[in-house]
Structures are given as structure tokens and as C-alpha cells.
Amino acid sequence: MGKKGRLIEDIDTDQIFHNAFLHITELRQMGQYALGNLEGWKDFPGKTGPGDIIIAGRNFGAGSSRQQAVDCFKSLQTGMIIAPSFGAIYFRNAVNSGFPVMKCSKLADLIAGGLLKSGDKIRVNIRTGEGQNQTRKEAFFIEPMNEVQYNLWEVGGLFSYAKKTKKD
Amino acid sequence: MGYTIIEKIIRGHTDEEVRAGEIVWLDLDVRSARDFGGPNVVKNFCREFGDTPVSDRSKTFFTFDLCVPACTLQYADNQQVCRDFARAKGFKVFDVDEGIGSHVLIERGLAASGSTVVGTDSHMNILGAVGCFGQGMGDVDITFAFKTGKIWFQVPESLKVFVRGEPSSGFSAKDLTLYIVKQLGTKKAALKSVEFYGEAVRKLSISGRITLCSMVTEMAGIIGFIPEFKDSVASEIKSLSGEEFNHPYADKDAVYSDAITIDIDGLGPQVAAPFLPTNVKDVGDLEEVKIDSGFIGCCTNGRFEDLKAAARVLKGKKVKDGVMLKIVPATRKVYKQLLEKGTLKDLFESGAIISNPGCGGCAQGHIGLTGKGEVQISTGNRNFEGKQGKGQNYLASPAVVAASCILGHIAGPEDI
């Protein structure tokens, strides 16, 4: 998410899901407001499709603890978000909700080097961190999920995990 | 390679490899929720886990402290929702008479050194004052903790802070804390476990340790520890918990992300001006600021020693006409000490308003709110815009608040 090869940093939860819509609790209604307050990206919900990967700058999801800022992307069936770092509470909320948020410290280099551009078709292995840019036939690496994050993602979040481990 | 304090505590509560940066499943000794967050925990629990029990009734608590007794219908409803849930599941509620949850846990020996405690309070890391890993979390995490007794946690990096120098007399634990907040800002300790060393922190009493550790939140840190302590602190904590006080220590070859030295030589009272806790100045730079009210209490400065420090300044004096001084003891136990030692009388006779124990106005729940245009000097930990009402809040020590209320403008105890 950015312009001319520069990622926008410190995108906060008000830009991702504005506080005017906090009363919305239905997952399927949340998608239409995703990034609705981020200059240049307000038309995002209409343009994105299932499985799309969002690439963002450092400290994505800074600010408040609202869960909708994660769930609006689940609502749109976004595949994952990759950023150099995430807001602490945002990261916790995403992991708890089983949504893949992946860290990649080299993201800015990849983009500056022309190895990753908006619209490229990419595949990422969340266990090994291996990435393939199929458009440019280039390989790259992100930080793989660790065990805990993977286990929660696998079952669909913290509450599902609690129910599953109880039965085991 | 050795371990830091936080790594040692976490190692004692997980089977996984513990190093800064790793995410592990952490076993919890105590999990709690308060009258804010608690009702959502109940809602989540009923939706996800229905009629099933909590994982361990003896380790699960509600602590009501924000709006006590409830002064809004919503809080009254929310507290009752929590009480009904606790009765059904069979665990204890520290109800509206008890005081601030984190302090009650310390007083009841439920925050033992080396143990792990979570709750829906962003200042739960106050428990670092007694060598316990306390952490505030959201209602989803706490619901999970009620059900499983565990939480996942990313092991934080550790920062070492040395405090050196000899401050002026009248330099209190709050002044030390505010000065450290000023020096570290919100970046240097961000997401870190902070270990404080040096004579000025070693000689802090329990109440002073609580003051310093409480404001690690305002430094954006995870938790603060003060591993060196006076014998009197150890025996006081032992008398509370009934167990030997064994503060975890760091290994000599433990790995830190950074080490910072802070020099407090010659410093006097400190005050944080609106609207940031990091906006700290010498009290002398703010003496032209007129005040409408004062607040003494909150999890940062609500211990007996804090109120006693205020009483020392106020005894035999009067709060200035047109100024109101609001005092909220942290717990019922503190209130009892005020009564038994005659401090309550000194405070009352100075013209102060003394309420029952609780959080005060920090969460806009009870005593301590300000109106538009009102200038308040408070012993709280946050002075963000709108945090304690619509007015302006200055943060200071109990003695500075007391002196300011006598004179009607910001002043140090030396000015009396």
C-alpha cells in the first residue's frame, strides 16, 4: 500500500476501519469499510478480491484495539498482510483471530529493487517463509509463522483453539 | 548465554524454549477482569464455551475498581453481570468495596514474586513492583485465560536502566518516575521489559516501587522490574503474601537490547504538563499555573505512604478557598491505615474530600473528573486530552499536589 514504490508507514486503525463504524459487529458487513479512511485507498473494497495479499509499511495497525480493523480484511477474504512490523495490539488481535499477518524486514529493499510491484502474482509459504514472485520469476523471503501463530491460524483463532485443545 | 528477569519468569511457566522474540504458551498463576472488560469476558465466555467451567476457580477473579459503587446504570448492570457469572462458576469477586484490583492482588499475596498474572487493566504491569509478571490484555485474551489458564506471549527484549546521582531532598518516587518517563519517552522502552538498577531505585519502598513500575505503561514498555531491594521491603511483602520474597534476578551474561544511564543529581520535584506524560518539567518552571483542583490517588500514588506524604504537607494548613482536593485511597486496607494512624483527620481538617477506595477519575468512572477549562494537578499516570474529563491535567507527586492545593497554583512542598 503506497505510491511510487514507497510504502505508507504507521497506518492506524482509524484509517483501516474508522471509529464511525464501530457499532458494526457482523463480519460480512465490515469489508465495505476497509481502508475507508486511508487517502488514496478508499476504493479498496471494490477493487480487491479473495486471496489478495496486502503489502504495507512498518507499524501497520498502530493505535486502538478495535478488532474490526482485522476482521474487515477477513470479511473481504484477504489472503494475508505482509509488513515490516505491526502495531502490538493489532498483531495480537490478528493472531487471535487466525488471520495471517506476516513480517518481512526486507520489504522496502524488495520494492526499491523492483522485485515486488503492485499487481504481481505472489505465493508465500507461511511455514518456511519462502516467497515466489510468479510474475517476475523471483524468489524472496519473509519471516515464517512460529509454532503458536501457526497453530492458531490452522484452527481459525484463539477460541477455536481452546475448544480443540480441550477435546484432545 | 544467560537469561533476563522476564525470560526467567516465563521459563518457569512454559515448556518451550524462551528467548526474546519467541512466542510461547504461558501458564498463568492468576487471571482477572474488572468492571471494564469483565462484562465482555462474560459475553465471550458464554457465547464460546457456554455452561462449561473456568479452568481453575481458585485462580480466577473479578476485581471491581473503576466505578465503585456504580454511579452509572451501565456500570451497575455490568458489575451485576460479572457477579452472576462468578457465582455460577464459583469464583471470587473482589467487589466494589475492595479498591484497585492490582493493589488488592498484591495485598492478598496473589501476585507472588516470579508468578504470572493477567487482567483487563493496562496498568497490571504494576505487579512488576513485587517481582511478578503482570500484564494487561483485551477481553478476548482474558476470556481464553479464564477458560484455559494460558495465554500466548511474545518474550520481550529487555532494557537495562541505571539511575545514578543524588537528588535534592523532597524528591519523591513520583518525581523519579516522571523524570525517567521524560528521559525514556515512548520509544526507548517500547515493547520491552525494563530492569531498573541503582541506589535511588534500590531504596524505594513498596509504594515507591509501585509508582515507578506503574508508569512503564506510559513509557510504552511491557513491564518494569527492580531486582534490588531493602530488607524492609522484603519483610513487608512477606507479611502480605505469607511467603518468602524471592525476586528473580538476571544472569550476569543475560542479553539486553540496550543499557541507558539516567542521572538524577540535584533534581527537585517534577511535573508532567498537559497533554503528555512525557512532557515533564521542573516544578519551578510551572509555578505561574493556577489550579482549580487536585487529585491524590490512583494505582500510581494511592498507597498509605503516598497519602501520608500529602498529609505531612497539609497538616495544620487549609486547602485554598475555591480549590477542591479529591483524595481516593487505593484500597480498603489503605483506608484502614488512614483511620488508625489519624491521617484521615489531618486530611479532612485541611478541607480535602476523601472518598472510598477505587481508581478515581482515571477511567472517567468516579471522583476526579474535570470540566472544560478546569485545571487539575493529579497524582495519576496519564494526562492525555479527555482522559480525566475535559480539563487540563498536570501530573505530580502527592506532596506537590498537596502544596499546590494550599497555594492555589503549582508549587513544590518547599514553597509551603
CB-nearest partner of A146 from B23, B48, B140: B23
List chain A domain ranges: 2-161
Would you call A149 and B23 a contact, using CB atoms and an 8 Å cutoff?
A: yes
C-alpha cell of A76? Answer: 473481504
**CATH 3.30.499.10 describes domain B5-154:** yes
Residue range B219-234, pLDDT digits in tens: 999 999 999 999 999 9
Cβ separation of B140 and A149 shorter than 8 Å?
no
Q: Are B271 and B283 in contact (CB under 8 A)?
A: yes
Q: Which cell numbers in the block locate residue B143? A: 476470556
Note the pLDDT of residue A5.
Answer: 60
Mutant choice from B16, B19, B23, B120 vs A, greatest count of A C-beta within 10 A: B23
Cα angle B98-B100-B102, degrees, rounded to a multiple of 5:
115
Distance from CA of B299 to the nearest CA of A (A): 22
Residue A157 and residue B134: Cα distance in Å, rounded?
Answer: 24
In this prediction the ipTM stands at 0.84
By C-alpha distance, the chain A residue nearest B143 is: A159
Q: Closest by alpha carbon to B158, among B356, B371, B384, B5? A: B5
* Alpha carbon distances (Å) from B73 to B80, B125, B326, B385, B388: 11, 30, 23, 25, 20
| Residue B6 main-chain phi, psi, to 5 deg | -65, -40
Residue B61: partners with Cβ closer than 8 Å, 6 or more residues away: B30, B31, B32, B91, B92, B93, B94, B101, B105, B110
Average pLDDT value for chain A? 91
Q: What is the per-residue pLDDT across B134-144, written as a single tens digit (0 to 9) for each?
A: 999 989 999 99
Hey, what amino acid is at B67? C
Exposed, middle or buried by CB within 10 Å (0-12, 13-18, 19+), for B175?
Answer: buried
Inter-chain contact A158–B141, Cβ cutoff 8 Å?
yes
Comparing A19-33, A93-107, B51-65, the range with the smallest average pLDDT is A19-33
How far, CA to CA in Å, does B11 sit from each of A76, B2, B8? 39, 12, 5
> Which residue in A65, A95, A148 is closest to B138 by CB distance?
A65
Alpha-carbon separation of residue B195 from B57, B213, B249, B362 (angstroms)? 33, 10, 10, 26
- A141 Cα to chain B: minimum distance (Å): 18
pLDDT higher than 60, residue B203: yes
Quick check: B247 pLDDT over 80? yes
Reported confidence tier of residue A166, pLDDT bands at 50, 70, 90: low
Nearest to B144 among A88, A93, A162 (CB): A162
Query: Is the minimum CB–CB distance between A8 and chain B shorter than 8 Å?
Result: no
- Hey, of B14, B36, B152, B157, which one would you mutate to test binding to chain A, going by the most A CBs within 10 A of its CB? B152
pLDDT of residue B5: 98
CA nearest to B130, candidates B240, B294, B19: B240
Distance from CA of B48 to the nearest CA of A (A): 7
* Residue B38 buriedness (CB in 10 A; 0-12 / 13-18 / 19+): buried
> Across-strand partners of A124?
A131
d(CA B147, CA B55): 5
Cross-strand partners of B26: B151
A152 touches chain B (CB under 8 A): yes
**Candidates A96, A146, A166; nearest CB to B140:** A96
Query: How far apart, in Å, are the Cα atoms of A139 and each of A58, B17, B363?
Result: 22, 30, 50
Q: What is the 3-state secondary structure (H, E, C) of chain A?
A: CEECCEECCCCEHHHHCCHHHCCCCCHHHHHHHCCCCCCCCCCHHHHCCCCCEEECCCCECECCCCCHHHHHHHHCCCCEEEECCECHHHHHHHHHCCCCEEECCCHHHHHHCCCCCCCCCEEECCCCCEEEECCCCEEEECCCCCHHHHHHHHHCCHHHHHHHHHHC
For residue B293, the cross-strand partners are B324, B376
The residue count for chain A: 168
Mention every residue, 6+ apart, whose C-beta is less than 8 A from residue B18. Answer: B3, B7, B10, B11, B24, B155
| Beta strand pairing call for A138-141 and A130-133 | antiparallel
Question: Which fold does the domain B158-263 belong to in CATH?
Answer: Aconitase; Domain 2 (3.40.1060)
- Rounded to a whole number of angstroms, the distance between the first and last alpha carbons of chain A is 41
Is the pLDDT at A4 greater than 80? The verdict is no
The pLDDT score that the predictor gives to residue B365 is 66
From CA B162, how far away is CA B39, in angstroms rounded?
A: 41
Cis peptide bond prior to A100, omega within 30° of 0: no
Which A-chain residues 67-106 have CB contacts (< 8 A) with chain B?
67, 88-89, 92-93, 95-96
- The reply to whether B158-263 shares the fold of B5-154 is no
Which residues sit opposite A102 in a β-bridge?
Answer: A82
Calpha distance B275→B272 (Å, rounded): 8
CB B185 within 8 A of CB B280: no
pLDDT at residue A11, as a whole number: 92
Residues of A in contact with B140 (CB under 8 A): 67, 93, 96, 158-159
CA–CA gap between residue A55 and residue A118 (Å, rounded)? 8
A and B: number of Cβ contacts within 8 A: 40
The pLDDT confidence band at residue A20, using thresholds 50, 70 and 90, is confident
User: What residues of B are in the A interface, CB distance below 8 Å?
Assistant: 16, 22-25, 44, 48-49, 137-138, 140-141, 143-144, 147-148, 152, 191
Which of the four pLDDT bands, split at 50, 70 and 90, describes residue A128? very high
Can you tell me the distance from the alpha carbon of B223 to that of B156, in angstroms, rounded to the nearest whole number?
Answer: 9
Determine the topology of domain B270-415 in CATH.
Aconitase; domain 3 (3.30.499)
- Domain A2-161 carries which CATH code? 3.20.19.10
Q: What is the pLDDT of residue A1?
A: 57
Identify whether the C-beta of residue B392 lies closer than 8 Å to the C-beta of residue B376. Answer: yes
A139 residue type, one letter:
A
Is the CB of A147 less than 8 angstroms away from the CB of B23? Answer: yes
Domain boundaries, chain B: 5-154, 158-263, 270-415
Reported confidence tier of residue B281, pLDDT bands at 50, 70, 90: very high
B68-122 pLDDT, tens digit each:
999 999 999 999 999 999 999 999 999 999 999 999 999 999 999 999 999 999 8
**Which residues does chain A have within 8 Å of residue B24's beta carbon, measured at their own beta carbons?**
148
Asked whether B152 and B28 are in contact (CB, 8 A), the reply is no
Rounded CA-CA distance B82/B39 in Å is: 6
B198 φψ region: left (φ > 0), alpha (ψ -120 to 50), beta (else)? left
**Is A152 in Cβ contact with B141 (below 8 Å)?**
no
Cα separations (Å) of B285 from B175, B271, B288, B376?
A: 14, 9, 8, 17
Q: What is the pLDDT of residue B212?
A: 98
Of the residues B17, B54, B154, B219, the best mutation for testing chain A's interface (the one with the most A CB atoms within 10 Å of its CB) is B154
Q: Which pLDDT value is given to residue B251?
A: 98
Q: Is the pLDDT of residue A3 over 70?
A: no
Taking only residues 110 to 149 of chain A, the set having a beta carbon closer than 8 angstroms to any beta carbon of chain B reads 146-149
Question: What is the pLDDT averaged over residues B189-205?
Answer: 97
* Cα–Cα dist B7/A155, whole Å: 28
